[in-house]
């Protein structure tokens, strides 16, 4: 059977004060009143039975996720008792599903991406599921055709492409994974044409990724086995609380994908964005005639240019005079005002807020 897994555990600190420790970016209503999580679910819903869509999230976010996805069975939201990066989410989902269906195929996606048009991803996922069902020892990842030499994204180096029966997309061999490059290297990757942005999404058999974790990250084997054995019994919660924190905190790319040899890729030619900062809003929200990006209700701007103005409170007026290259982000109890060139320092600002005893605002 086929399952979808949505990883929705990130906090999104660079979107503070909208995103918080108890309210992550996935549930912010920044896309025409919709959340990233909701949009992600809607992309998957035509491909999977809703009962076979799982969401892995931080325990603090579980109720928010259920509220945002009322169509999803409540038990399909799995609360992680500790932060263990993508390997924790991937391993937990695979262990749970394999306990029900040893032959299950999983499509793993993240909740914080903007993908347009969604049909491109849907067809790619269909093709990946078809390929993995025929080649159960293989793992599929997705690479986005780069449009500029980004130094903020990882890359996948792809080799030969081949046709697969029943697939519209070609299947590429993956020769290597590359970390975030410097500007010169990123330009080289773009010019070569064989490097794609790493989209951080995967398709594989549950048993295949569990076997890979056992091989490349043996420290994960016992915790996942304990959790799987207890999942359908009365000790599920206590076993999860005890053993999940013992999983290594490491990304699945580092733990498995960079080491495995049976990795293939499908290229996505679409608009793709990890909405991880205020500056990224400029790529998904239409600006006004003065190039101001406004996500707000009533807003009055005079002699303002190249700004980013954001609030979820549609009844709150934001008014500004003579601003240029400024971020204004309003929430009920905190407001951020900073120059766009300093927006990358928000994590530094949060650390200062914490050190000054104002953790209630984090």
Residue finishing a domain among 274, 298, 323: 274
pLDDT (mean) for 122-129: 97
269 and 233 in a single domain? The answer is: yes
Which of the two residues, 362 and 105, has the higher pLDDT score? 105
Residue finishing a domain among 274, 301, 318: 274
Long-range contacts formed by 230-234: CB under 8 A, 24+ apart:
231/95, 231/96, 231/99, 232/99
37 and 95 in a single domain? The answer is: yes
Torsion of CA 24, 257, 82, 152, to 10 degrees: -40
Residue finishing a domain among 274, 292, 326: 274
Instruction: Kindly state whether residue 279 falls inside one of the protein's structural domains.
Output: no
302 and 261 in a single domain? The answer is: no
182 and 298 in a single domain? The answer is: no
* For residue 22, pLDDT beyond 90: no
CATH no. for residue 117? Answer: 3.90.550.10
244 and 300 in a single domain? The answer is: no
69 and 87 in a single domain? The answer is: yes
Continuous segment of H or E residues that includes residue 142: strand 139-144
Confidence of residue 11 (pLDDT cuts 50, 70, 90): confident
Instruction: Report the distance separating Cα 63 and Cα 201, nearest Å.
Output: 24
Q: What is the mean pLDDT of the chain?
A: 92
Domain that holds residue 101: 2-274
* For residue 286, pLDDT beyond 90: no
Residue 105 near residue 204 (C-beta atoms within 8 A): yes
Helix ranges (H only) for 217-294 are 221-230, 236-243, 252
C-alpha closest to that of 336 among 9, 20, 11, 114 = 20
Q: Enumerate residues 6+ apart whose C-beta is below 8 A from 341.
A: 325
256 and 290 in a single domain? The answer is: no
* For residue 273, pLDDT beyond 90: no
160 and 297 in a single domain? The answer is: no
187 and 299 in a single domain? The answer is: no
Least confident of 265-279, 302-316, 339-353: 265-279
How many structural domains comprise the chain? 2
Write the pLDDT tens digit of every residue in 93-117. 999 999 999 899 999 999 988 888 9
Q: How many CB atoms lie within 10 A of CB 290?
A: 12
Instruction: Kindly state whether residue 135 falls inside one of the protein's structural domains.
Output: yes
SS3 146: coil
Confidence of residue 5 (pLDDT cuts 50, 70, 90): very high
pLDDT at 112: 85
Confidence of residue 279 (pLDDT cuts 50, 70, 90): confident
């Amino acid at each position: 059977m086929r399952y979808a897994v949505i990883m929705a555990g990130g906090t999104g600190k660079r979107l503070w004060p909208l995103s918080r420790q108890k309210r992550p970016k996935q549930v912010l209503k920044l896309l025409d009143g919709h959340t990233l999580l909701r949009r992600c679910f809607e992309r998957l819903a035509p491909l999977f039975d809703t009962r076979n869509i799982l969401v892995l999230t931080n325990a603090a976010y579980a109720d928010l996720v259920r509220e945002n996805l009322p169509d999803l069975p409540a038990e399909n939201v799995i609360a992680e008792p500790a932060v263990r990066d993508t390997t924790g989410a991937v391993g937990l989902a695979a262990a749970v599903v394999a306990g029900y269906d040893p032959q299950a195929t999983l499509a793993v996606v993240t909740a914080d991406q903007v993908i347009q048009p969604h049909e491109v991803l849907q067809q790619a996922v269909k093709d990946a599921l078809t390929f993995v069902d025929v080649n159960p020892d293989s793992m599929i990842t997705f690479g986005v055709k780069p449009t500029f030499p980004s130094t903020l994204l990882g890359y996948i180096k792809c080799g030969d492409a081949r046709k697969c029966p029943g697939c519209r997309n070609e299947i590429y061999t993956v020769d290597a994974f590359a970390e975030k490059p410097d500007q010169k290297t990123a330009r080289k990757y773009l010019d070569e044409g064989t490097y794609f942005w790493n989209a951080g999404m995967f398709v594989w058999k549950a048993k295949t990724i569990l076997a890979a974790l056992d091989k490349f990250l043996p420290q994960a084997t016992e915790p996942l086995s304990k959790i799987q054995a207890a999942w359908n019994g009365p000790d599920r919660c206590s076993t999860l609380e005890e053993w999940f924190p013992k999983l290594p905190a490491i990304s699945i790319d580092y733990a498995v994908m960079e080491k495995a040899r049976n990795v293939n890729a499908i290229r996505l030619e679409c608009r793709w964005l990890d909405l991880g900062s205020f500056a990224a809003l400029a790529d998904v929200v239409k600006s006004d005639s003065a190039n101001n990006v406004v996500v707000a209700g009533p807003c009055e701007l005079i002699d303002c240019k190249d700004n980013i103005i954001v609030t979820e409170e549609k009844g709150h007026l934001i008014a500004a005079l003579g601003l240029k290259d400024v971020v204004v982000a309003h929430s009920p109890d905190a407001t951020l005002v900073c120059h766009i060139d300093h927006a990358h320092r928000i994590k530094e600002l949060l650390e200062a807020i914490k050190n000054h005893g104002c953790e209630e605002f984090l």
